[in-house]
């Protein structure tokens, strides 16, 4: 009986397969400006039950290190859907922590700690307010990456934000 792969040919096949799988999980680079808004797509929002998302409008700052992405409305504080990415949020962990604190401070609600594997800190609020309707928000820091997701508040907000955060963490 002839084996389909043996020795060296099996090694090459597995190497090509491994490389192909890694290539499919493209990572968005730091300081890539509007490309950082691709960390979440309309389909991602739909997959967690948020149906009114549209392709993002972007506002890029800090030479491409920050991107403000709105997928509905003007911001999450006005009832829309928003992703803010700071990548890198500073030259070191201390600066990233300061960016995180600034981001958290922009909503007048207390954000509670929540465990997300692979992160340095994560906090969320189901009832944030910042001049408009109540919204749910999650702020996540991993190394010098900081991002904030805001969505309209609803009974599934925590689960939706956790799933969306997981996608952002995989892509950035």
* pLDDT at position 11: 38
| Choice between 23 and 102, residue whose per-residue pLDDT is larger | 102
Q: What is the CATH code of the structural domain delimited by 28-171? A: 3.40.1000.10
CA distance 45 to 35: 17
pLDDT of 17 above 90:
no
**Helix (H/G/I), strand (E/B), else coil: 145:** strand
Partners of residue 112 on adjacent β-strands: 124
pLDDT of 18 above 70:
no
Can you give the length of the chain in residues? 172
CA distance 84 to 59: 9
Looking at residues 31-44, what average pLDDT do you find?
Answer: 98
CA distance 30 to 57: 19
CA 89 to chain centre: 14
pLDDT of 83 above 60:
yes
Exposed, middle or buried by CB within 10 Å (0-12, 13-18, 19+), for 170?
Answer: exposed
* pLDDT at position 109: 83
Domain boundaries, the chain: 28-171
CA 100 to chain centre: 14
CA distance 55 to 88: 23
pLDDT of 16 above 80:
no
pLDDT of 8 above 80:
no
pLDDT of 26 above 60:
no
Q: Is there a contact between 89 and 96 (Cβ–Cβ < 8 Å)?
A: yes
Helices (H), the chain: 7-24, 42-47, 93-105, 157-171
Percent of the chain with pLDDT strictly greater than 70 = 85
- 12 band by pLDDT with thresholds 50, 70 and 90: very low
pTM, entire model: 0.84
- 6 band by pLDDT with thresholds 50, 70 and 90: low
User: CA of 33: how far to CAs of 6, 87, 120, in Å?
Assistant: 46, 9, 23
Looking at residues 3-20, what average pLDDT do you find?
Answer: 41
pLDDT tens-digit profile of 90-111?
999 999 999 999 999 887 789 9
Exposed, middle or buried by CB within 10 Å (0-12, 13-18, 19+), for 163?
Answer: middle
């Amino acid at each position: 009986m002839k084996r389909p792969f043996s020795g060296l040919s099996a090694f090459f096949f597995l190497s090509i397969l491994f490389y192909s799988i890694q290539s499919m999980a493209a990572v968005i680079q730091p300081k890539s400006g509007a490309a950082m808004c691709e960390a979440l797509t309309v389909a991602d929002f739909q997959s967690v039950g948020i149906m009114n998302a549209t392709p993002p409008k972007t506002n890029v700052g800090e030479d491409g290190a920050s991107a403000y992405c709105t997928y509905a409305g003007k911001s999450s504080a006005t009832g829309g859907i928003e992703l803010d990415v700071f990548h890198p949020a500073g030259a070191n962990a201390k600066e990233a922590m300061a960016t995180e604190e600034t981001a958290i401070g922009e909503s007048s609600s207390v954000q509670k700690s929540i465990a997300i594997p692979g992160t340095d800190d994560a906090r969320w609020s189901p009832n944030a307010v910042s001049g408009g309707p109540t919204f749910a928000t999650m702020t996540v820091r991993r190394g010098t990456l900081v991002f904030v997701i805001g969505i309209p508040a609803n009974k599934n907000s925590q689960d939706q934000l956790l799933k969306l955060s997981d996608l952002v963490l995989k892509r950035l």
